[in-house]
Each structure stands twice: as C-alpha cells, then as structure tokens.
Amino acid sequence: MNFIVSSGSEVGILLLGLLVMYKNLYKMQVDNQRQIAEKVESVATRANGFFDVFLDSFDFPAWVKRVIVKDSGEVEFRTHFVNRAFEDNLHKSRVQCIGRTDKSIWSSPVATELHKRDLAVLKNKSPIFTMDSFDDNKTLKCKRFYVYYRGDHWIVGFAPPMEEPLDG
C-alpha cells in the first residue's frame, strides 16, 4: 500500500490523518488505494494541527521516521517523532530519539534489525507487521508503512496492543 498525497499543509497533519484512518479502518479490508487516499485527506483536513497531542493520546507506541538518502546512496531513517507511549514502553525519551537513527538509539543488533525492516517497507512501498525485540527484552508486534508526502519519504510505525502477551 503506497500513500501519495500532494496537498496539505504539514507532514504532521498527513501522518495524523494516516493514523486516524488506520484506527478507524483497523479491522476492515480496503483494497482501493484511491479510497484510502481520499479518507486520509478527509481526516487530515479536519486535524487542525494537533499531531503531537493526538499521537500522545494513543496508549501504544507510535513513531515517525524521515527517509534520507545520502550522496553515497546509503539510506538513513531519522526519527522525527515518538509518542509518550513509546517513551514509557521502550524507556527512550524524545530527546534521545528525535533527529537520530536507530544506530544511535539502540544496541547494534536491534538497530540493524530495525533498519532492515524499514528498508523493506521503503523498497516495497507496502506495510508490514513484524515482531520487534528491543534492548530491554521487550517484544512488540509492530506495523510499519510507507508515506510519500511533498517530496519526502517517511516510515510510520506503531505497536498496537497484542491480543495475548508474549512470553519473554
């Protein structure tokens, strides 16, 4: 699934719209990409710029990474936003995350795995669900998806509550 939006005022508004759309359509199967894009635009238009407040209202971790391609061709995913549930569940503050890559946030094995998963989303332009393990042995079922907005590429992720907890 690839979201391409060419109008709007801020990346935050778009991402807010995407998360609202996912929350509203969580259990529905929607195959028509145009229908999804129209829903995103509709929700984003009503968002009024309260992106941080909205994401902080989620009781599960959510994050946004900007895709940066260096002159060498190396791809970086720089954290643009994390919500409070991310901070509380993964024990990393916004200050520790914003503007940084996973390499400077997590241990090398964790960072390497997260980078591979972000690359897969970027390459395929379709969402994926994964089971991600973090430095404190916490494992979360995470969903990542790709967003193209006003010339920028983004990876948005969140960890909705699992039906049953995993045994550590």
Q: How is residue 160 annotated by DSSP?
A: P
Which pair of tokens denotes residue 158?
């969140």
Of 26-30, 80-84, 109-113, give the range with the top mean pLDDT: 109-113
Using one digit for the tens of pLDDT, what is the confidence trace for 88-103?
Answer: 999 999 999 999 999 9
Q: How far apart are CA 3 and CA 140, in angstroms?
A: 25
List domains and CATH numbers for the chain: 3-158 (3.30.450.20)
Distances (CA, A) of 93 to 77, 82, 120: 17, 8, 26
Using one digit for the tens of pLDDT, what is the confidence trace for 3-39?
Answer: 454 444 456 666 666 666 665 655 444 445 556 555 5
For 168, half-sphere exposure in the C-beta direction (CA atoms, 13 angstrom radius) is 5
Q: Could you tell me which of 64, 89, 60 has the C-alpha nearest to residue 160? A: 60
Tell me the pTM. 0.68
Helices (H) and strands (E) in the chain, counts: 6, 6
Using one digit for the tens of pLDDT, what is the confidence trace for 150-161?
Answer: 788 999 999 988
Task: Report how far Cα 96 is from the mean position of its chain's Cα atoms.
Answer: 17
Location of structure tokens 């042995």: 137
The backbone torsions φ and ψ at residue 109, rounded to the nearest 5 degrees and listed phi first, read -65, -40
The stretch 40-56 carries a mean pLDDT of 60
